[in-house]
Amino acid sequence: MIVDRLYKNVEKNGHVCLGLDTDYEYIPEWFRNKFSSKGEAIFNFNKNIIDETLDVVACYKVQIAYYEALGFEGLKAYSDTLKYIRQKGSIVIADIKRGDISKTAQMYAKGHFTGDFEADFVTLNPYMGVNDSIEPFLNYVKNNEKGLFILVRTSNKGARDFQYIKDAQNKALYETVGEKLNDLASENLGHCGFSSIGAVVGCTNNEEGIALREKINKMFLLIPGYGAQGGTKDDIKNYLIKGNGAVVNSSRGILLSYKKVENGDKIFAKCARNEAIKMRDDIRSCL
């Protein structure tokens, strides 16, 4: 299963998931001026960063919105980025956060697990129900080496608007969602003991995190919130099981690390590598 590959990547390369949420404005001017289109510049910027970081990150996450915003040329850069990551032997998460009823979900599954936009994992929103939003993707999980990261508890401030609403038993909505998904994950375990049906869980709120991890102990985690959003290595530690079971995303912190270095724009990919290593070693130091 794809989760076994991801588990091994974490063992070998550490826990960093490098987010290629690439805004055209992030690209150093001298580099983007080499190309005739924004899409071409974005793909080649990504390509340079991928080449420099393959051996120090566990996987890559590509947020589709940054590419959709540029229209056709952006979507070509998105497709080319996904293909390049997979050609290089790494794992790519398509951050698409889809969540719709059954037939539409079937088309989303086909569109992002086959063809021009094929990825290894996709992110999903479960709030229209498991049978509608999740079920159409499961055949790809079971038979086509694909995986899911499903929103359970996110790290943004707005998460409290709905995810923390309590029921009559004083259980938060995110807990109910997590428990239901963990049951589904338990039916689809890899050799590593985790499922290819994973969860997106923000790394802040320590005590909540410990309790939640106990309830979703079969789910591999995609963790946002490290660094700029306040999450630390000590927060991350609470979500790991025997030092594994999660990848931790960083996007702008790595992509824009060259801005912290004198003349760093000339070596932006090397700066990204150094920042990824720094993050990798920071997380490993708490184990």
CATH number at residue 123: 3.20.20.70
Asked whether residue 37 carries a pLDDT value surpassing 90, the answer given is yes
More confident position, 6 or 227: 6
Confidence label for 54 from pLDDT (cuts 50, 70 and 90): very high
Asked whether residue 135 carries a pLDDT value surpassing 80, the answer given is yes
- 181-236, pLDDT tens digit by residue? 999 999 989 999 999 999 999 987 667 888 899 999 999 999 998 876 677 888 89
Q: Which long-range contacts (CB under 8 A, 24 or more apart) does 186-189 make?
A: 186/218, 188/1, 188/138, 188/141, 188/142, 189/218
Confidence label for 283 from pLDDT (cuts 50, 70 and 90): very high
How many domains does the chain fold into? 1
Would you state the pLDDT for residue 188? 87
Asked whether residue 90 carries a pLDDT value surpassing 80, the answer given is yes
Confidence label for 131 from pLDDT (cuts 50, 70 and 90): confident
In whole angstroms, give the CA distance from residue 127 to residue 274: 38
More confident position, 211 or 147: 147
Residue 83 annotated to the active site: no
Would you state the pLDDT for residue 196? 97
Mean pLDDT of the chain: 94
Would you state the pLDDT for residue 245? 97
User: What is the mean pLDDT of the segment spanning 139-161?
Assistant: 90
Would you state the pLDDT for residue 205? 64
Q: Which of 47, 97, 215, 237 is catalytic?
A: 97
Retrieve residue 242's tokens: 């025997």
Would you state the pLDDT for residue 228? 67
User: What is the mean pLDDT of the segment spanning 61-83?
Assistant: 98
Q: Domain of residue 125: give its range.
A: 2-284
Asked whether residue 153 carries a pLDDT value surpassing 70, the answer given is yes
Confidence label for 112 from pLDDT (cuts 50, 70 and 90): very high
Residue 227 vs residues 14, 51, 199, 256: alpha-carbon distances, Å: 16, 24, 20, 13
In whole angstroms, give the CA distance from residue 38 to residue 45: 10
Q: Are 224 and 249 in contact (CB under 8 A)?
A: yes
**Residues 6 or more apart in contact with residue 267 via CB below 8 angstroms:** 258, 261
**Which pTM was predicted?**
0.96
Q: Are 63 and 97 in contact (CB under 8 A)?
A: no
Confidence label for 132 from pLDDT (cuts 50, 70 and 90): confident
Task: Give, to the nearest 10 degrees, the angle between helix 268-284 and helix 38-53.
Answer: 50
